[in-house]
């Protein structure tokens, strides 16, 4: 079960990484005009660097925020905590791109951007993080829903089996009335078998 879980998670990140790498390469005019292995390597490095923010963020949301959300009586506190984590991740994601990827991976000179452009790039980073986090959370919620439905079916089946066993364990009313009539007839006839019949009926009732 654990191996299957790691395979699913690994497959998710491989597909996500591949799609992002494809987009970065083929949406780049530089690569389209002059494709090269060097540019591909630089794109791979830049994508790996951004994953250092995305992977921790996704697992924080999946295994810290979501479980708390389902059980917390005060959901506003959990929501505020999630928003704070997302905003911190957005700033870190932007810093990695502008302070590491641009100057050291693509070797672009550092450019002072206007405030509005900085805000626009922060917003782009926020949307990028929301995208991967939303996809991962949707997949996890879908799996949780499937498990809940399967558990509900199992509980219904167990309940039906328990009811059947309970019904089987109940005394048949016809048997009880016939037994009482027999004992009544023996007592009226003052039969010596009456005490034994009462004792047998008592033992049967105790056993049931």
- Look up the pTM and report it: 0.73
* Residue 57 banded pLDDT, cuts 50, 70, 90: very high
CA pair distance 73, 71, nearest whole angstrom: 6
CA pair distance 64, 115, nearest whole angstrom: 34
Least confident of 37-51, 144-158, 171-185: 171-185
pLDDT of residue 146: 93
Q: What is the H or E stretch that residue 109 is in?
A: none
Tell me if 169 sits within 8 A of 208, measured CB to CB.
yes
Least confident of 87-101, 152-166, 191-205: 191-205
- When the pLDDT of each residue in the chain is averaged and rounded to a whole number, the result is 87
* Residue 170 banded pLDDT, cuts 50, 70, 90: low
Nearest to 134 by CA among 54, 18, 24, 34: 54
pLDDT of residue 22: 92
Nearest to 61 by CA among 139, 4, 120, 113: 139
pLDDT of residue 31: 78
Tell me if 65 sits within 8 A of 81, measured CB to CB.
yes
* Residue 1 banded pLDDT, cuts 50, 70, 90: low
How many Cα atoms sit within 13 Å of 59 on the Cβ side? Answer: 10
Mind giving me the DSSP string for 3-22?
A: HHHHHHHHHHHHHHHHHHHH
């Amino acid at each position: 079960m654990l191996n299957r879980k790691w395979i699913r998670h690994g497959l998710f990140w491989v597909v996500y990484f591949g799609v992002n790498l494809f987009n970065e390469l083929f949406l780049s005019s530089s690569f389209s005009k002059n494709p090269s292995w060097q540019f591909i390597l630089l794109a791979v490095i830049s994508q790996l660097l951004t994953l250092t923010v995305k992977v921790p963020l996704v697992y924080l949301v999946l295994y810290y925020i979501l479980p708390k959300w389902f059980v917390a009586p005060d959901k506003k506190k959990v929501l505020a905590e999630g928003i704070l984590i997302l905003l911190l991740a957005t700033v870190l994601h932007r810093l990695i791109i502008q302070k590491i990827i641009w100057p050291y991976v693509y070797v672009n000179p550092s450019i002072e951007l206007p405030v509005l452009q900085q805000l626009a790039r922060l917003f782009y980073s926020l949307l990028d993080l929301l995208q991967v986090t939303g996809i991962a959370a949707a997949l996890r919620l879908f799996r949780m829903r499937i498990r809940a439905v399967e558990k509900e079916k199992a509980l219904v089946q167990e309940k039906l089996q328990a009811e059947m066993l309970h019904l089987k364990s109940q005394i048949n009313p016809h048997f009880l009335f016939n037994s009482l009539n027999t004992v009544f007839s023996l007592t009226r006839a003052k039969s010596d078998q009456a005490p034994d019949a009462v004792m047998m009926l008592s033992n049967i009732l105790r056993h049931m």
